Amino acid sequence: MADAAKWQTQDAHHPLTRLWTARRTGGSPAAVPVILGAPVVFWQAVFFAAPLVFLVVITSWRVRSFKLEPAFVLDNWEKVLNSGPFQKALVYTLEVSALSAILTLAFALPAAYTIAFRLSPRLRELAIAVLVVPVFSSYLLRIYAWQIVLSPGGIINSLTRWLFDLELQLLGGQFSLQVGLLTLTLPVAVLILVLALSGVDRTLLEAAANLGCRRARVVWHVLLPSIRGAVLLAGSTAFLMSFGDYISPVFLTGSKPPTLSILIVDTVKSGSQWPRASAIGVSMLVILTLVLLTVGWLGRERRFRKGGK
């Protein structure tokens, strides 16, 4: 058996065998990844890169008589960037997204810790399944459900009127908006953190506890540094999803004040201003790219410091 295995290994490196493999893969063994990756590259080029390029190009066009005309001007950028509504919507969207990311991490970290370390394997699998289901269910349907719960005649106000003779204004504000955004971001963030916590070496936690560290110090100084990349990923994912969300601001706040996604729709409706709406959309993509680059830099900076030490 050992001689047969040795013969097969030597045969795999034989020049004739390598030549036959190269012919089957299109000329070179290195062509295999290229062939397998070609459909993905084609898909991204056709359905992402090409529309993105067109979106950038259309920002320099003009609208005359409600029709688009090709041009190469910067009027749309000047009007958008100097517009008061755009600046207010940008600041408001950044504030809402940042708050959503903070709240998502505040709720997701304890939930993920409980699922990863406190539940039995069977309950852990059930909890993960419960988290996966909302990710693939209709987000719009969940927001409609929150409208029923938070409306003046909804479940919460029915209980408060019955118990305390009190009616709460839950819809149309920051509270209802954050509830909707948490509905979108929280399951994803918890799943990311649970997967990261499942890979943590528990002997490190036990060693820190045996050395006299309290649970809070173990979590802060041992556990969180071990999953720092996952925490950054979960927070940035929550920020990105909240930054581009359209459904929660429309159905839970009535578009007041408008976010950037709502401003895009309003801009299109006002005289078919597709170029200005495209300028807003490109601005959003630039901001999201900067956020991703910043998060990536923070992760690399941490790894570099650890390597230097």
- Average pLDDT over the chain reads 84
Task: Report the b/e string of 132-166 with b at 16+ CB within 10 A.
Answer: eeeeeeebeebbeebeeebeeebeebeeeeeeeee
In total, the chain counts a number of residues equal to 309
272: left (phi over 0), alpha (psi -120 to 50) or beta: left
Report pLDDT digits (tens) over 37-55: 788 888 888 888 888 898 8
Q: Within 13 Å of residue 289, how many CA atoms lie on the same side as its CB?
A: 6
Residues ≥6 apart with Cβ < 8 Å to 202:
none
Q: Which two tokens stand for residue 14?
A: 């034989």
Q: What is the pTM of this model?
A: 0.82
Mean pLDDT per block of 10 residues along the chain (309 residues) reads 45 48 52 76 84 88 82 88 93 96 96 91 92 87 91 86 86 91 95 91 77 78 87 94 94 89 90 88 93 84 54
All domains in the chain, ordered by first residue: 2-58 (no CATH), 76-308 (1.10.3720.10)
Phi, psi of 67 (to 5 degrees): -130, 145
Question: Tokens 């040795």 correspond to what residue?
Answer: 6
How many angstroms separate the Cα of 2 from the Cα of each of 11, 224, 233, 266?
Answer: 14, 48, 47, 73
Q: Which two tokens stand for residue 107?
A: 């709720």
Report pLDDT digits (tens) over 255-308: 888 999 999 999 988 777 889 999 999 999 999 999 989 888 887 765 555 554
274-308 helix and 84-113 helix, angle to the nearest 10 degrees: 40
Q: In this structure, are residues 108 and 193 in contact, taking their beta carbons and an 8 Å threshold?
A: yes
Model pLDDT, residue 34 = 72
